[in-house]
Amino acid sequence: MRIRDLYSPGKTILSLEVFPPKHDPGICLDGALSDIARLSPAFISVTVHASGSVEKTLGIAAGIQNEFGLPSMAHLTCVNSSRDTVHHSLEMIRGRGVENILALRGDPVEGGRADYRYASELIRDIGGYGGFCIGAACYPEGHIDSTDLALDIGYLKAKQDAGAEFFVSQLFFDNDVFFRFLERARAAGITVPVSAGVMPVLSRGQIEKMIFLCGASLPARVVRLLHTYQSDADSLRKAGTELAAEQVRGLMEAGVDGVHLYTMNKPEVAEWIFSKR
């Protein structure tokens, strides 16, 4: 099923994200993923494997559909790939019956290919290839490489114009940040559905790494939470999960198009958050 068809006015859809384990992607299918699937999300997205392997991402995405009967979405990056490589990946994705792709630029590496500079170019290429429902990323606080929020919204519009049919946001810890971003995006002509990305605080190291990678800001209450429980990992995990549940409730009460939960492959965390919505 195409993800664009899951959205409808007046309804907030709930979706989940998993990532392929570094060593054995089968672990995710045989263990945590079956528990995550039992939560019956609208869809499950699968990130790019740490090695960049499309096969490992695709194996899990296809398994979600075949084993659990749920729509899945495979992440696909382009910045270090040739067009031939991307087209080969699209052929593989189509061959496994996965219809939905989250089109991303990805992180450039020194000496990588330069056939693509922006995600909008990949989106247009996928659209020309045909047969896929295309999602893209958006950044409530701006992309970490951007110094101009207005320019960042312009890139978002370029993605929509290129063929993006929905957006999934980067993580944020203050719902007002997302609401302000959404207001700006709608004013700039963004008309497709936008799902809000929520990541539970499970450890200090996890959050420090993520804010360094994506540039999300930490509200005072999150800083206090990290400080209060810096020597109590279990309490930090519990408090961080409750904070995520609070975010989800607030987003749903506001009637956002969708909430996309970054599960960190922790089904018990996702289940608890879902139970509190």
Position 92 in a domain: yes
Position 129 in a domain: yes
The rounded percent of the chain whose pLDDT value lies above 90 is 76
Position 209 in a domain: no
- Three-state SS annotation for the chain: CCHHHHCECCECEEEEEECCCCCCCHHHHHCHHHHHHCCCCCCEEECCCCCCCHHHHHHHHHHHHHHHCCCEEEEEECCCCCHHHHHHHHHHHHHCCCCEEEEECCCCCCCCCCCCCCHHHHHHHHHHHCCCEEEEEECCCCCCCCCCHHHHHHHHHHHHHHCCCEEEEEECCCHHHHHHHHHHHHHCCCCCCEEEEECCCCCHHHHHHHHHHHCCCCCHHHHHHHHHCCCCHHHHHHHHHHHHHHHHHHHHHCCCCEEEEECCCCHHHHHHHHHCC
Give the CATH number of the domain where residue 187 resides.
3.20.20.220
pLDDT for the residue 173: 96
User: pTM for the complete prediction?
Assistant: 0.94
Q: How many domains does the chain have?
A: 1
Position 118 in a domain: yes
Position 222 in a domain: no
Position 211 in a domain: no
Catalytic residue, from 17, 121, 141, 165: name it.
17
pLDDT in tens, the chain (277 residues): 999 999 999 999 999 999 988 766 554 556 788 999 999 999 999 998 666 678 889 999 999 999 999 999 999 999 888 899 999 999 999 999 999 999 999 887 766 667 888 999 999 999 999 999 999 999 999 998 888 889 999 999 999 999 999 999 999 999 999 999 999 999 999 999 999 999 999 999 998 888 888 889 999 999 999 999 989 999 999 999 999 999 999 999 999 999 999 999 999 999 999 887 8
Position 195 in a domain: yes
Domain containing 67 equals 9-200+252-266
Known catalytic residue: 246? no
- pLDDT tens for 126-144 read 999 999 999 999 999 999 8
Position 33 in a domain: yes
